[in-house]
C-alpha cells in the first residue's frame, strides 16, 4: 500500500536568553492545536535553507531577528491527517524583542520546567532532548 500522507517540513527555534531560559509560544485559537505550547517557527518555503526559513518565520511571528545556532533535533510526528517533520535549532535574539504576533502569548521558561507545559506532539522530542530525557 502506498503512503499518501502529506509531509510538511517545518523549522522551530529554541531561543535562549542570558539566563538560559527558553522562549515558549502558546498556540492561539486561530491556529491548529490551540492551547498547546510550541517552539516558534514555521514552514520551509521552496528555495530556502532551514536557517533562512527560521530567520524569516521568527521575523514574521515574533518581530525580532535571531541568530541560528546548532541543530537540536530532526524528528517526524504523524498526526491523523498530516506528517510533520520538525527540524529544531538553537537560536538567540540578535535584535529586537519578541512579541506574540500570531501566538496567544510567549513565556520564558527554565529548562527544568519545560515538561510542565502541554506541548504540541511534534515538539515533544525536542523538549525531551532539552530536559535530558532522550
- CA-CA distance, 98 to 120, in Å (whole number)? 20
> What are the tens digits of pLDDT across the range 85-116?
999 999 999 999 999 999 999 999 999 999 99
Domain boundaries, the chain: 7-130
- Extended strands (E) in the chain: 7-16, 22-26, 37-38, 41-43, 65-78, 83-95, 105-109
> What are the tens digits of pLDDT across the range 41-62?
999 999 999 999 999 999 999 9
CATH number of 7-130: 3.90.79.10
What global pTM score does this model have? 0.92
**122: closest CA among 83, 69, 66, 70?**
83
Q: Residue 70 class from Cβ within 10 Å (0-12 exposed, 13-18 middle, 19+ buried)?
A: exposed
Amino acid at each position: 500500500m502506498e503512503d499518501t500522507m502529506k509531509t510538511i517540513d517545518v523549522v522551530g527555534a529554541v531561543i535562549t536568553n542570558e539566563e538560559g531560559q527558553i522562549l515558549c509560544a502558546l498556540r492561539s485559537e486561530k491556529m491548529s492545536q490551540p492551547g498547546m505550547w510550541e517552539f516558534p517557527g514555521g514552514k520551509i518555503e521552496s528555495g530556502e535553507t532551514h536557517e533562512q526559513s527560521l530567520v524569516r518565520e521568527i521575523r514574521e511571528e515574533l518581530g525580532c531577528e535571531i541568530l541560528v545556532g546548532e541543530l537540536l533535533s530532526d524528528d517526524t510526528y504523524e498526526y491523523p491527517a498530516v506528517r510533520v517533520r520538525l527540524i529544531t535549532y538553537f537560536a538567540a535574539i540578535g535584535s529586537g524583542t519578541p512579541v506574540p504576533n500570531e501566538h496567544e502569548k510567549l513565556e520564558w521558561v527554565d529548562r527544568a520546567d519545560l515538561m510542565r507545559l502541554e506541548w504540541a506532539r511534534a515538539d515533544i522530542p525536542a523538549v525531551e532532548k532539552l530536559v535530558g530525557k532522550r
